[in-house]
Each structure stands twice: as C-alpha cells, then as structure tokens.
A and B are shown apart, each in its own frame.
Chain A
Amino acid sequence: MYSPSLSGPPDGPRVAAVQGALGRWAERLWSGAQFATVSQPALPTGYPALDAELPGGGWPASGLTELLLAAPGSGEWRLLAPALREQAATRPVVCIAPPLQPYAPALLALGLPLQRFVWVTPPDAADAVWALEQALRCGSCGVALWWGDAAMPMLRRLHLAAREHGCLLLALRPLAARRQPSPAPLRLACSPAAQGRLEISVFKRRGPAQAMPLSLSLPPIAITPPGHAVARTTPALVAA
C-alpha cells in the first residue's frame, strides 16, 4: 500500500500518526530515518554527539570499523581514548603496525592503561595481517587497532574473524581509502578543524545518510602556561 505521508521528509507527528494507524504492524515497519536494529551491544564513544550518529549508540563491540585519517596526529587518540579506556580495563588491546612510535607519557595522560596495550610492529604488510588475524582469533583481545591496508577479500575475512571472536577491530586507513569498497558496516572520515575540533563524516552506516559532518569538540590538550620555562635570557629566536 503506497502511503504519500511516508515518502516526504520524515517528521515526528506525521510518522507517529501513520504508525498509530498501522497498529501492530508499526514496529515491523522501517522508516528511512531510523537506524537499523543492532543485535550486538555498542561501546559508548564517550562523546554523546557522536553516539547519536552511530547505530546502537556507540562503536560496534565486534567487527571491522574504519576510521579514515589524512595523517597520523589528527586527534585519533583523543577520539578513541574513552572507549579504549573502558575496554582495556577488562580485556587487552593490541595495536598493530603503528605509523610512528607511540609516546607512553601522552597515552598515560589520556588515561589509557598502557600495561594492557601490546604494540606489534611487523616488518611488512603481510606479517601485519597475519599478526592481526592471530590476535582476532585468539579470542581474548577486546580491541585491535590496525594501521594498514588489505585487499577486499582479506578485509572481509578480518571482519568475520573479529565478529566471531567478539573483538572491535578499528582500522585506521588513509583518506584515499574512502573510494574503495569495504565490508566494514561503519566507516568514518576524520579531519581536524580549527579550535581543536574534529570534523567527522560518517559516510557509511546502517541507517540514513548523514546530512552534514559532525563537528566534535575534542578535549583540549594541556598548553604549557606562558612563563613555564624560567628563561631569564630569552633565546633570541623565540623572542623574535
């Protein structure tokens, strides 16, 4: 039965009226503005504005999730820290093929329990994928962070392994990967913006397309107070 009231932009009262008219069929009816029902629990991201954009209200607890970044240092650690903190309290976290050396004091300052983080730096991409698959299949890792790339069949295989063993696999890939197809049910592109904000575009999710990118305010990093260094003889170049 074609209903013209459903074809327009969804608005609350009209949808409610239609749903009332449909009676017991209403809960079986999916309207375009709803997120798909998520069967698995979600991990809150720690940012309510971002939770509202994600099906289930957080990172999926298992399976592949892609985070596309222009370059390392785009605010990814501050974005992921609340969820990682939560997960690392119960299950270990494996980080595979980080692009640079992680710096322990900063990660501790974000509240991450580093003794539960294991960093694997394989010599090449094939070993990285092998190590990742081993980590997923061992069944005891809560989160696997992976900086790398693989072909579609391998990504699907990793996604299934992560789903089966209840592990959140976060793949941090370059922005160029946006044009490539991926089996990940949730894909986000992040780019830093002015005033310490992070623009997040959720370009693939089980639900309606995102109208406009979300501008998320990340916790600011501590800035050294002026006059911290006792610089009686101020270096000429800094003063200049």
Chain B
Amino acid sequence: MLWLALHLPWLPLEAVACGVDALPRCVVHERVVLLADPAAQAAGVKPGMSLASALGLLPALLPLQRDPARERQLLQLAALAASRFTPRLVLGEQLLQLEVQGSLRLFGGLPSLLRSLRRCVDALGLKPRLSIAPTATAAALFARCAPGAATTRERMQQRLDALPLHDSAPQLAELLHGIGCRTLGDVRALPRRGLQRRGAAELLALLDRAYGDAPDPRAWFEPPREFQQTLELLQRADDTAALDGAAMLLVQALAGWLAQQWLAAAAFSLWLLHESRGRHAEAPTRLRIALGQPSRDAAQLGLVLRERLARCALPGPVYALQLRLDEAVALAGHAAALPFGSDRSGARWHDAGQDEPNFLALLDRLSARLGAMHVQRWAACADHRPEQAARARAAGGAAARAVDAPALPRPSWLLAEPLRLGEHQGQPLHGGALQLHGGPERIEAGWFDGAPVCRDYHVAVGRDHRLRWVFHERRGARQGWFLHGLFG
C-alpha cells in the first residue's frame, strides 16, 4: 500500500475567504483566533489568542467566522475531484488520504501522478501539505508535522523515529519530555508494558498503526450515486464573472466523479439560484450544456461552461450554484495523446489521432458561445424546389443522408430571399442588362405541402461577367424576374 496524505492547514480560511484580499485575515471560532494568514501572523496574531487581543495588535485585521459545514463541503468536493486518481479515499480532520498503489501505472509513475494531483488541487484553490508513506497513519503524521515522501518501509521508520513528540502526540508530550523522550523513536525504545500502565496505551496503538505493526482499517469515502452538488457563494454575484471560481470548483468535482465512475458527460446543467426579491422567489436559471463529444476532461468542461456563462445575462443576483449531470455515457479510459513537442525547425508534430476529438471540442466551444444555430453543416436534400434542396443542421449532430449532386446548374451562393429584378423590354436587369444562357429549367413543385413554386430558371451573365441564377415567376401575384443565386 502507498498512501498519499493531503493535509489542508488553511482549510478554515479557504472555506470562508473569498478571493485575494489586501487585508490580513484570521478565522475566529467562539471569539478565539483559530487560524491567521501569513500577513496577520507577521503582525503577531497567533492561534489561540482572543479576538480582542488580536484586534488590539492589528486593528486592520479582518476576522472571519468559522464555518465547519462549508469546510466539510469543500473537503467533500476535493475528495470528489481527487477520486479520479483512486477509488480509495479517506476523509479526516482537514485531511484527505488517497491509497494510490494501484494507480501508479495508469498515471505513469509517482512523480507524474503527483504533478496531476497538484494541478487538480491548485484548480480547487487549496494549498495542501503533501506526504507519502506506506501506512495511512504515518502519511497523516508526516503531512501534519513534516511533509515529504517516504516510499519504503525502512525510510518511513527512520523518519517516524525522528518525528518530534510535541507535534505528533501533544497530549503526552510534557510527561514524556520529563523522562527524556524527545522523538517517537525514543518512546518506542521504552518498555511497552510500563507505558501501557501509565496511560500511554493510545499513543502505543497509534505507533503500531503508523509503523505498520497493527492493522489499520479505514472507512472509504463513498461518492454519491448521482452527481448533484450545490455550492453557496460567499458573496452574492451580480455578474457572471463572479460565478467563475465556484463554477470551476464544481466542474473539477464533476470531472473527478465521472472518472471514478468510468463515465463521460454528454449533457450537464448549471443552475443559478437567485435571491428572492421581496415576496417573489425568482425561478432559478438553468444553463444546459450538451456536448457533441462526451468528455470528462475538467479543462474541456470548464471551457465550454465558461463560454456559456459569459453569454448569459443574469436576471438577478445569484447566491448559489448547482451543478447537475443530466446525461452520461460509459467511457473507458483511452490512451493518452502523444505530447506535442517541437522539432528543430520549430514546426509542431501533427498528431492525426488527436484531430477528431480536438475538432469536436472546438465545435462544442463555438456552439456554447455563439449558439448552436450559428455553427452548422449544410447537406443537400431530395427536393426539386431550390429553397428546400439544402438544409442546415447543428454541426455536432448526426450526419445527414447523402444525396447525389444534381446534373443541372446550381449556384454556390443562394439568396435567402429571391431579389426582385428590374426589367427592360422583358429582359432582367442587375447591374446592367443580363444575358440569358441556356435554359429554361422549369421547376414546378410543392403543390403537395402548401409552398408551391412555378418558375423558369436561367443562368444569366451580367456586365461584370459574374454568373447569376435568375428565374421568372410564372404564376401568382409576384410574376416577374428574380435573382436567386450566384455562381461562385
């Protein structure tokens, strides 16, 4: 077993502090300072101090009330995000532990796994202290007292022996100091029986678990069956830019959850919960995002969500966000793409295998910002009427059935609405007289669905030598010449 422990010493502050603040801050619980940020510590504010003395030292200090529920929630989101690395997670007091022995090969070794984990935790805005050890208890002790890696049992024992007592076992530290014990190694050298009789049984059990001499069963973190996470904002948000941080936090958790379940999101929704104005509760706004290429990549999901958020106008201030997964498809892991390197000439390697997913991701991004109506593919349809012979559909959707190209002349640009042309002696005019070539091609159809056309089409050349597609309307109120397309 190989345990990775993330101790989050700043969690109480991270849970209640919003953004970068110029003021020194501290977290207060029952009018006693629990945690002070580096700026406050530099002015002499220490944990355990009463709030009054802290404010006396530093009048500009910003005291923040501790919020244990929010700390738990943040830890839970971090656990969800980290569950992409291993299904075996344990939550503790400001502590997240991962058993990663089985994941090393998948993530390309410990250093590469650690890099990915750091990136993931950075994206959550947490500053952890990381340690690695073969037992869970030892990893937790190291993370709290002396962060670092000890991957072998011998190295772990050496490092445990050297751990100072007052950090690792503060309750008994004074008593043991009195008999000359400074480190855990010193305690271990003492006779076991005597220690047990003198009330240090708990410390001994801890040591046994840490050194791997006693079993250490843990309750694994159970991810929820369905993904639906709500996060309250620390400040109400009046524009979408203020939602970004919280939304990305939820996206990280979603990506981790999807990876753990071997799923990829096909559609998800971000619900913006609005503050009620007076008596009227404002209905929540729903931003639904459907992905052409199901994905569980946090960067890709975040990018699409960000584009969609930027396009949305808030009907009112937002106090909370909720992220729900609407549709998911099973997705096994796929081989990681070859890294894009640069060769000597500076040109990039072109990785053809990466084209398709990249392109689908591009379509998702464009549709999220511009709207699906503005990102289309055109296809021909079997219909004689020119307006009905081509149809656009959303680019991410299924491909249309192929239709053979017509043998008759068709213009590459079609006017959405035929343009009425002037006439001179029965001949159409468009920037000068038009000369008709060939034809006419008579199109008479549509009597069956209420959009009948009855036209004679010609190819016409104008004075500027451009080729046009013109028709003569034969029936109805709008008889005359019309321009319908241009030959590109």
Residues of A near any B CB (own CB < 8 A): 39, 70-78, 90-92, 98-110, 114-115, 117-123, 127, 130-131, 134-135, 138-141, 164-166, 191-194, 196, 221-226, 228-231, 235, 237-238, 240
Contact: B408 with A224, CB < 8 Å?
yes
Identify which of B129-137, B235-243, B270-278, B368-376 touches chain A: B368-376
Contact: A39 with B345, CB < 8 Å?
yes
Within 8 A of A (CB), among B406-439: 406-416, 425-426, 437-439
Let me know if B356 is at the binding interface, CB within 8 A.
yes
Contacts of B486 in A (CB 8 A): 71-73, 100
Cross-chain pairs A/B with CB under 8 angstroms, 13 sampled? A100-B415, A101-B413, A103-B411, A105-B410, A106-B485, A115-B377, A115-B399, A118-B376, A139-B354, A140-B356, A192-B465, A229-B439, A231-B442
Within 8 A of A (CB), among B357-382: 358-359, 361-363, 365-366, 369-370, 374-380
Contacts of B363 in A (CB 8 A): 118
| Chain B: number of interface residues, binned into ranges | 35 or more
- Roughly how many angstroms separate A39 CA and B347 CA in the complex, as a whole number? 11
Cβ-defined partner of B362 (8 Å) among A99, A140, A229? A140
Let me know if B441 is at the binding interface, CB within 8 A.
yes
In whole Å, how far is B443's beta carbon from the nearest beta carbon of chain A?
A: 9
Contact: A224 with B459, CB < 8 Å?
yes
Cβ-defined partner of A120 (8 Å) among B350, B370, B413, B414? B370
Let me know if B474 is at the binding interface, CB within 8 A.
yes
- Roughly how many angstroms separate A240 CA and B415 CA in the complex, as a whole number? 27
Contact: B374 with A228, CB < 8 Å?
no
Q: A74-B488, A78-B488, A140-B359 are in contact. Are A224 and B440 (CB under 8 A)?
A: yes
Let me know if B487 is at the binding interface, CB within 8 A.
yes
Contact: B374 with A120, CB < 8 Å?
yes
Let me know if B405 is at the binding interface, CB within 8 A.
yes
- Roughly how many angstroms separate A134 CA and B365 CA in the complex, as a whole number? 9
Contact: B472 with A223, CB < 8 Å?
no
Can you name 4 extra interface pairs (CB under 8 A) apart from A118-B395, A139-B358? A107-B412, A192-B464, A229-B441, A235-B474
Contact: A92 with B390, CB < 8 Å?
no
In whole Å, how far is B148's beta carbon from the nearest beta carbon of chain A?
A: 40
Let me know if B155 is at the binding interface, CB within 8 A.
no
Contact: B440 with A120, CB < 8 Å?
no
Least CB separation from B358: chain A residue: A140
Least CB separation from B365: chain A residue: A134
